[in-house]
């Protein structure tokens, strides 16, 4: 039986409890063998870049999921130069793991824009695309070929966390303690960037 691997991409600038809840709910709902967080080196849709470096964002993901069964960091985009296009990541992963079935997890808004993604038809050939929506969110009709699941609604954003750090406010309970400790030790997000 082939491994069914979920891929959850994003900036993770920083990773927070909302990301972790989505990952756990998706892994359970879809019966995934494992779920990999895929931090983008360069987000094509974020021209301003990231507030933290790619390596700092990867380190935060590793700390957030340490000891969590079935969750791991995928470095495919971190180790490749240039914009982080999902289609390139899927090609690389399929070449590396030809027997695996990949499930690309995307938020509802991203799913609506997916037909405009880089090489969208090829992307949909390389992986199952599953959009996650928050419980209670109004339903939108997804583009053809995209499945959907419901995940818990958690109103936490990386933008709000960065702003709290900039203001000197606590981020306890917003992010795992190990991530909060890393942010403090590295002095991330204090300068107002992002």
- Per-residue pLDDT reduced to its tens digit, 109-138: 889 989 899 999 999 999 999 999 865 555
Work out the pLDDT band at 141, boundaries 50, 70, 90.
confident
Domains, the chain, in order of start with CATH, read 4-186 (3.40.50.620)
Work out the pLDDT band at 108, boundaries 50, 70, 90.
confident
Among residues 17, 55, 25, the alpha carbon closest in space to that of 39 is found at 55
* CB contact at 8 A, 103 and 130: yes
Average pLDDT over residues 72-101: 94
Residue 112 tokens, joined:
């609506």
Q: What does the DSSP 8-state code read for residue 68? A: -
Task: Check residue 194 and give its pLDDT.
Answer: 46
* CB contact at 8 A, 85 and 118: yes
pLDDT digits (tens, 9 = 90+) for 10-22: 999 999 999 999 9
How many angstroms separate the CA atoms of 5 and 10, rounded?
16
How many angstroms separate the CA atoms of 158 and 175, rounded?
9
pLDDT digits (tens, 9 = 90+) for 149-186: 999 888 899 999 999 999 999 999 999 999 999 999 99
Q: Which residues contact 137 (CB under 8 A, 6 or more apart)?
A: 108, 153
Describe the strand order of the beta sheet including 146-151 as a list of residue ranges.
71-73, 34-39, 4-10, 101-107, 128-134, 146-151
Which string of b and e fits 78-106 if b means at least 16 CB within 10 Å? Answer: beeeeebbbbbbbbebeeeeeeeebbbbb
How many angstroms separate the CA atoms of 20 and 158, rounded?
13
Torsion angles phi and psi, residue 160, rounded to 5: -65, -40
* CB contact at 8 A, 135 and 153: yes
Mean pLDDT of the residues in the chain? 91
Q: Which residues contact 171 (CB under 8 A, 6 or more apart)?
A: 161, 164, 165, 180, 183
């Amino acid at each position: 039986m082939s491994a069914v691997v979920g891929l959850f991409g994003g900036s993770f600038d920083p990773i927070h409890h909302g990301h972790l809840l989505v990952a756990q709910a998706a892994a359970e709902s879809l019966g995934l063998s494992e779920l990999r967080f895929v931090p983008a080196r360069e987000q094509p849709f974020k021209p301003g870049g990231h507030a933290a470096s790619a390596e700092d964002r990867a380190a935060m993901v590793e700390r957030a999921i340490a000891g969590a069964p079935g969750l791991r960091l995928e470095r495919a985009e971190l180790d490749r130069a240039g914009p982080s296009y999902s289609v390139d990541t899927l090609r690389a992963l399929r070449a590396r793991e030809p027997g695996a079935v990949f499930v690309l997890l995307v938020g509802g808004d991203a799913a609506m824009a997916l037909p405009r993604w880089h090489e969208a038809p090829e992307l949909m050939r390389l992986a199952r695309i599953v959009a996650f929506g928050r419980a209670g969110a109004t339903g939108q009709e997804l583009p053809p070929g995209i499945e959907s699941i419901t995940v818990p609604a958690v109103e936490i954003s990386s933008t709000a966390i960065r702003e709290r750090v900039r203001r000197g406010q606590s981020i306890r309970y917003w992010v795992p303690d190990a991530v909060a400790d890393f942010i403090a030790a590295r002095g991330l997000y204090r300068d107002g960037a992002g």
